């Protein structure tokens, strides 16, 4: 149901990309909102049934991720008012939903592990950070497209529809400076949590390593932005790069490598 709404919303936004009409935007926005509400309800229901936040397996985690991305977009759209962003963010949500439905829904044995407050905190902050980075990833792609148009002096239809470079860079910046502290908090709570159940905060788990690498990438990006004044194309590339690192951390490790994040998740 939610996937359907996201699909409609995405199609709406893709049409909006080609034809600028207020009506199309509002329809797509509303459909996405309905999807997010339905989806949120489903997540709450699953969580209530399982007795903990429903992110135990990759399927649920992906679906939760898609939900957070849509929610983050809906909120950011209200604040930043960049409608075309929807045309880039909503396909991402659809992609995650589809992936999620393709993944096996292995049921996880009920353990006390998911019930800690640390765990909820760890998960929410990481997911929020990831959603913001997904937005900055989309803004980065938009930036690169727009920049290419202007540099190559071929001003096509997309050029007309995309916002100005400065604005896209600004979104990138906003998402980065709100996302990075959240990611940091998420990692710290993760370590703290790990030390309460595995007695050591660092266990050379593949996911831990990948997460640290991701954190480093974003740390570099933030540093370069604030201290050296990196912006524009390079910042956009790094935002895209960082998001790929997130995907690897998030999916690649879950699916292909063994560690206690995964053994639990399976």
Quickly tell me which residue has 């593949």 as its tokens: 206
Q: Does 37 bind other proteins (CB under 8 A)?
A: no
CB closer to other proteins out of 167 and 260: 167
Q: Does 166 bind other proteins (CB under 8 A)?
A: yes
Q: Report the distance separating Cα 217 and Cα 140, nearest Å.
A: 15
CB closer to other proteins out of 27 and 247: 27
Q: Report the distance separating Cα 164 and Cα 206, nearest Å.
A: 40
Instruction: Provide, rounded to whole angstroms, the least separation between the CB of residue 231 and other proteins.
Output: 5
Q: Does 266 bind other proteins (CB under 8 A)?
A: no
Q: Which two tokens stand for residue 2?
A: 């939610």
CB closer to other proteins out of 102 and 228: 228
Residues contacting 17, CB < 8 A, separation 6+ = 84, 87, 158, 161
In the list 233, 241, 247, 248, the residue contacting other proteins (rule: CB under 8 A) is 233
Q: Report the distance separating Cα 34 and Cα 40, nearest Å.
A: 10
CB closer to other proteins out of 79 and 153: 153
From residue 69 to residue 98, what is the string marking binding to other proteins with x (rule CB under 8 A)? ------------------------------
Q: Does 172 bind other proteins (CB under 8 A)?
A: no
Q: Which two tokens stand for residue 127?
A: 């997911």
Q: Does 230 bind other proteins (CB under 8 A)?
A: yes
Instruction: Provide, rounded to whole angstroms, the least separation between the CB of residue 13 and other proteins.
Output: 19
In the list 40, 201, 232, 252, the residue contacting other proteins (rule: CB under 8 A) is 232
Centroid of chain to Cα 125: 11
Instruction: Provide, rounded to whole angstroms, the least separation between the CB of residue 29 and other proteins.
Output: 19
Q: Report the distance separating Cα 13 and Cα 261, nearest Å.
A: 36
Q: Report the distance separating Cα 160 and Cα 148, nearest Å.
A: 13
In the list 46, 167, 260, 266, the residue contacting other proteins (rule: CB under 8 A) is 167
Q: Does 234 bind other proteins (CB under 8 A)?
A: yes
Instruction: Provide, rounded to whole angstroms, the least separation between the CB of residue 92 and other proteins.
Output: 24
User: Contacts with other proteins in 146-165 (CB under 8 A)?
Assistant: 146, 150-151, 153, 155, 159-160, 163-165
CB closer to other proteins out of 45 and 166: 166
In the list 49, 78, 229, 263, the residue contacting other proteins (rule: CB under 8 A) is 229
Per residue, the 3-state secondary structure of 182-245, as one string, reads HHHHHHHHHHHHHHHHCCCCCCCCHHHHHHHHHHHHHHHHHHHHHHHCCCCHHHHHHHHHHHHH
Q: What are phi and psi of 232, to 5 degrees?
A: 70, -130
In the list 46, 231, 260, 266, the residue contacting other proteins (rule: CB under 8 A) is 231
Handedness of CA 52, 212, 191, 109 (dihedral sign): positive
Select from 183, 159, 195 the least CA-distant residue to 249. Answer: 183
Which residues here bind other proteins, judged by CB under 8 A?
A: 146, 150-151, 153, 155, 159-160, 163-167, 228-234
């Amino acid at each position: 149901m939610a996937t359907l709404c996201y699909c409609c919303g995405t199609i709406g936004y893709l049409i909006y990309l080609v034809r600028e009409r207020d009506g199309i935007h509002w329809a797509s926005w509303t459909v996405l909102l309905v999807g997010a509400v339905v989806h949120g309800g489903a997540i709450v229901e699953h969580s209530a049934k399982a007795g903990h936040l429903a992110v135990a397996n990759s399927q649920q985690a992906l679906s939760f991720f898609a939900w957070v991305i849509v929610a983050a977009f809906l909120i950011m759209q209200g604040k930043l008012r960049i409608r075309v962003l929807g045309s880039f963010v909503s396909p991402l949500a659809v992609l995650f939903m589809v992936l999620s439905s393709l993944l096996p829904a292995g049921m996880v044995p009920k353990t006390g592990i998911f019930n800690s407050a640390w765990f909820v905190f760890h998960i929410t902050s990481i997911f929020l950070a990831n959603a913001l980075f997904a937005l900055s990833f989309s803004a980065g792609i938009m930036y690169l497209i727009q920049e290419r148009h202007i540099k190559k002096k071929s001003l096509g239809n997309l050029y007309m529809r995309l916002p100005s470079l400065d604005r896209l860079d600004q979104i990138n910046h906003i998402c980065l400076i709100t996302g990075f502290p959240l990611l940091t908090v998420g990692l710290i709570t993760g370590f703290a949590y790990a030390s309460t159940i595995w007695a050591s905060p660092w266990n050379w788990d593949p996911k831990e390593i990948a997460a640290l690498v991701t954190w480093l990438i974003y740390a570099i990006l933030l540093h370069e932005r604030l201290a050296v004044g990196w912006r524009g194309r390079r910042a956009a590339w790094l935002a895209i790069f960082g998001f790929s690192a997130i995907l690897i951390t998030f999916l690649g490790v879950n699916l292909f490598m063994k560690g206690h994040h995964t053994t639990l998740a399976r």
